[in-house]
Structure formats: C-alpha cells, structure tokens
Amino acid sequence: MKALISFLFLISPMVALAGSFVQGLPDGAYHGKFRGQKKGTVNFIVRGYAGCDGCFIAYKLKTPELLGDRTVDLVAYSALPMESVNVNGRLTSTRYSLTPIGVDSTGDLTLPNDDPSLILNISKGAGTRDAEFTVTSAQSGNRLGGVESMVFLWSREAPFEVIDPSEGQYRDAGSTKVSATVTSLKTEEDGSHSAHILWMGNIRQEGGDFMLKERLPGVYTFNAVSYHGEGNRVRSMPTFIVMFVHGNGQFCFEKQDMMLMVNPVNHVDVSKMILK
Amino acid sequence: MKFFKTKSLSLAFLMVAGMSVAHAQTSLEYPGGPHSGMSDVEVKKLDAWAQNTQLQLTRLENELSYNEGESLSDSEIKRKLYDGIKEIAGDSGLKPGDLLLRQSLYAGITLCDIIDAEGLKKGATPGEIGEQVSILKQTITLAKKYYISDQVYVNGLLERRPEVHFNNKLIEFGVELTQFMMKQSRKMIAIDASASYGMIKWSLGVLNRKILDDDRNVAFANTITYLNQKLESFPEMENLSSDVDAVKKIRELKNLAKEVFSEIEMTQKSLVQH
C-alpha cells in the first residue's frame, strides 16, 4: 500500500502536466531558443484573463546570450485558441494564433493587423517534463514583431514573471543618469492600474511628465502630458508600450522589479528600468 | 418580362428580410422623419437640433481634453462621455429617419452597453473601461463627420432641392459604421471574447438594416437575404457555449463580413456601370 501511494505521488505531477498540454498553456514564464540559431534566447510569458477563458496575453522577450545584460526585443500578443488537431479521433495538439498588439494611427493600443503573425502549437506530450511547445510563422503576411520559429521546453522556466506596477523610483539598467519616478498609483473599477510618471528621459527621448495606463491585461501605455493655460492634456500617441516584470535585473542572480519600455511601432529599443 | 420577374422576386426577398430585420422600430422623435414631407418649420427645427448637437459634442470633447491627466479617472471620463452622448442620441435605435449624426452616436452607446453587459457577467477585465472611452471618443469623431453630410441634406430640404436624398447614401454609411465597429471589436477580443462577438454580430445586423433602408435596396436584395439568413444561424451573445466558442464564431463572422463587403462593392460597381 505504501509503495502504491509513493508511486501515485511520483506520477501525479506528470499526469497533471500531460493534461495541461491539451487544455492550454498554464500561466507562467517559459524559456526557449530560436530554431536553427546558436546564440540568443527567448522568454515567453503567459497570462490568462477573466474576459476569455482559454485565451491569454503572451509576451515575447528576446534576450542576448547573457541574461541581465539588456533586453533587445519585447512584443505583446493576443493569443486565441484555434481548432485542435485530431488524428484518428485522438487529440494530438492544440494551437493558438498569436496576433501582435501595437498602436494604430489614433494612438490606440490595439491589434493593428487582424492576421496573426505566429502560431503556437502544443503537442500532446507523453507526460515527460521535456515535452515542448513550438512557435512558428503564421505565414499570413503579418511580420510585426518577427516571425522566427522558436522552441520551448516545459521544464525550462524563464527568469521573469509579470507583476503589477509599484510606486517608487526606477533607474535605467544601462545608465545611472536616467530615472523614472512612479507616483499616484490608482486602480480603476475594471481593475486596471494608472499612475503618473516623471521621467528624466534618455538619449533618444525627451523627459517630462507622463501618464501610465493599463490598456490590456498587463500591457500599459506611456503617454506624454502637456500643460496649458486651460489645464493639462495627454498626448494620444504613446511614447512607449510598458510592462512590469520581476526577474533578472542588472546582475544575473539578483531578481528585481522592473519596468520594460519599448518603442510601440518597431517593438525594439527596449529600456529596462529597475526599481530602486 | 424577365426583368419584372427578377424584380418581383427581389421585392419578395426584401419583404422577408424586412420582416426579420426591421424590428423594434417605433415612431420617430421628429414627426414624419426628415425625408417625408416635413414643413419648413420642422426642417428648421431639425437643422437647429443638429447644430446644437454638434456644439454639445465639441463642448464635451473640450471639457474632457484638459482634465484627462490626473483630475479625472477613466471611469469618470467614461461616465461623462456616455451620459452626454446618450442624452443626445436618445432612443434613436437607428431609425431610418434619424440623421446619420444621431445614428453614429447610438452605435457607440450600444457597443458600450454590450461590453458592460458581459463585464457584469464575468467580472471586468483590465482595459475594459479604457476601451469604452476610446469607442465613445471615436464615436464623436464619426458623428461630427456625418454632421457635414446631414447638413447638406437638411439644406437641400430647406431649399426644396429634389436631387438631395437622405436614403441614397445609407449603404456607404452602413459600411463605414460597420467597419468602425468591427475595428473596435478587434481589441476587445483581447479583453472579452464574447463581448467582441456581440459587437461584430450587432454591427453586421446594422449593416443589413442600412442596406434595407437605402433607396437602392432592390439591387442588393440577394445580399440582404443572404446576410439575414446567415446572421440568424449565429447564436445570441448570451447563448454562446464558451469563450472558445466565441472566438470560433468571431472568425466565422469576420469571414461573412469580408464576403458581404465584397458583394456590396461588386453591386455598387455594376450600378455605376448601368
């Protein structure tokens, strides 16, 4: 009896894991590689939301070989379930369409192109922790955020997790001179966060006052505020798309709260701001 | 004879489609509607209403544009926009006689109601209120655009110019309104899938109604019947079995929209050629 209990205890995580392959990707962060490339790694952060059971928001963070140096690419996707693949009546894989989130001409955070750029394919594993999921090009013509193939192992957890923003001073991982101060953090009726940011700017962008608003679950916009005789106005085109993560910061083994800011049009030029 | 037969068949299609589509259309707020023998005084009243509405909308935009930073939350901005627009749009319900300005505003209000209804059921998702603010702001932009074409129409009535018709541009209006609403539903899918489905389905229903109200409806009889039959086969938003089902149905509705837009374009081209 004792042996049986021990056996069940041992196999239960595998059974649970095998089940989760067909149901979808559990919330979490996954670490993978670009297929056919020796250098460079990629992290995939998955976060479900109440408005759509079975859908999730995915964040792709492309990093160079050395973690903690500098993130070079950040794209948020709307992930929606597609038809499952059945062979001889048996479910073999579950697929999701990944459509990049960006800004339209009015500055609204949206899906600029309705067509997905990537397809995520979860193969039904045999219960082994080395089973994988892959991300490949959707071949739709939408190339926003890149269409390189990626492969992820379930067992390789990425060193990041999505968090809510915190008030305080953030400094640029690459320069001690650049800082951002997050104040007046508020939560709206729908659970979204907003805050005021005083940003000191960097070489590419001017500093000043900004409004931070959560437009989609975990995806924020960073819009400049201008002051006039009649009051203040918020510029409609965001300067950055922002997300907050907890993970490897300036030093490889030190996990910190960070604000990642990316150019909303090309999804590169990422600034990594670390909470002091 | 063949032409007569085709025309009779088309009218029969229209009657069937009309019975299903033109529901919940009660009496107009301005008696008779702007295109059916209104007196000069009534037309002048309508003109004044449109001008006043345009001013109210501009005032609403100005009031909010200088307060967005810190003093007003998104929830407060949404409430102000929603109440302000609802007061103007009233019970339009996309009635055939309503000015396009008013119909545009009504569409924005309805999209917000769809999002609210789903949010109440499942619990709100971050971004929902921001999206409603965006819809209402863009609705005002659209309404102001149609205020210009409404003015041309009202001036035509005042000047007794018979060539100025109200019902000969409804298809173009319906297509633009539907495309606007479908664009808004695109982002909603990443917030609430069933609300996004509800928005697209309602939008296509609006398109069908606008084609039916247009003077050229006979030429579009096949499209009206096809779209109406197809829409009837889609479940109501409340009856979707799951969010995954909503996502699947959204793809089907998008395909249908693509098909209908292309049919409308083809028919419009053939009308121009004849």
What pLDDT, in 10s, does the model give residues B28-42?
A: 223 333 455 677 888
Name, in order, each residue with C-beta under 8 angstroms of A180's C-beta and a sequence gap of 6 or more: A169, A170, A171, A197, A198, A199, A200, A259, A273
B254 interface with A at CB cutoff 8 Å: yes
How many whole angstroms separate alpha carbon B239 and alpha carbon B246? Answer: 10
Residue, of B184 and B32, whose pLDDT is higher: B184
Of A216, A218, A233, the CB nearest to B68: A233
Record the tokens describing residue A276, joined without a space.
Answer: 């002091």
Whether residues A154 and A81 share a domain: the answer is yes
Q: Chain A contacts of B193, Cβ < 8 Å? A: 51-52, 55, 80
Record the tokens describing residue A80, joined without a space.
Answer: 């929606």
Question: With left for phi above 0 and alpha for psi between -120 and 50, is residue B179 left, alpha or beta?
Answer: alpha
Say if A14 falls within a structural domain. no
Whether residues A183 and A97 share a domain: the answer is no
With a cut of 80, say whether residue B258 has pLDDT above it. Answer: yes
Whether residues A36 and A127 share a domain: the answer is yes
Banded pLDDT at A226 (limits 50, 70, 90): confident
Say if A4 falls within a structural domain. no
Q: Do A217 and B191 touch (CB under 8 A)?
A: yes
Last residue of a domain, one of A127, A158, A189: A158
Whether residues A28 and A147 share a domain: the answer is yes
Whether residues A149 and A212 share a domain: the answer is no
Of B71, B127, B134, the CB nearest to A192: B127
Name, in order, each residue with C-beta under 8 angstroms of B23's C-beta and a sequence gap of 6 or more: none
Whether residues A67 and A130 share a domain: the answer is yes
Banded pLDDT at B232 (limits 50, 70, 90): very high
Whether residues A126 and A197 share a domain: the answer is no
**Which pTM does this prediction carry?**
0.83
Whether residues A40 and A114 share a domain: the answer is yes
Length of chain B, please? 274
Whether residues A135 and A36 share a domain: the answer is yes
Closest-CA residue of chain A to B121? A51
Last residue of a domain, one of A158, A174, A203: A158
B135 interface with A at CB cutoff 8 Å: no
* B96, B173 Cβ separation under 8 angstroms: no
Q: Give the structural domain span for A187.
A: 162-275
Whether residues A75 and A183 share a domain: the answer is no
Last residue of a domain, one of A158, A188, A210: A158
Say if A104 falls within a structural domain. yes
Closest-CA residue of chain B to A164? B126
Our count of domains for chain A comes to 2
So what's the ipTM on this one?
Answer: 0.80
Say if A5 falls within a structural domain. no
Say if A8 falls within a structural domain. no
Banded pLDDT at B225 (limits 50, 70, 90): very high
Say if A144 falls within a structural domain. yes
The average confidence (pLDDT) of chain A is 79
Say if A105 falls within a structural domain. yes
How many whole angstroms separate alpha carbon B113 and alpha carbon B45? Answer: 30
Q: For A146, list phi and psi in degrees, rounded to 5.
A: 90, 155
Of A101, A190, A213, the CB nearest to B190: A101
Whether residues A152 and A63 share a domain: the answer is yes
Q: Give mean pLDDT, residues A170-199.
A: 88
Residue, of A259 and A160, whose pLDDT is higher: A259
Say if A9 falls within a structural domain. no
Q: Do A110 and B126 touch (CB under 8 A)?
A: no
Whether residues A172 and A250 share a domain: the answer is yes
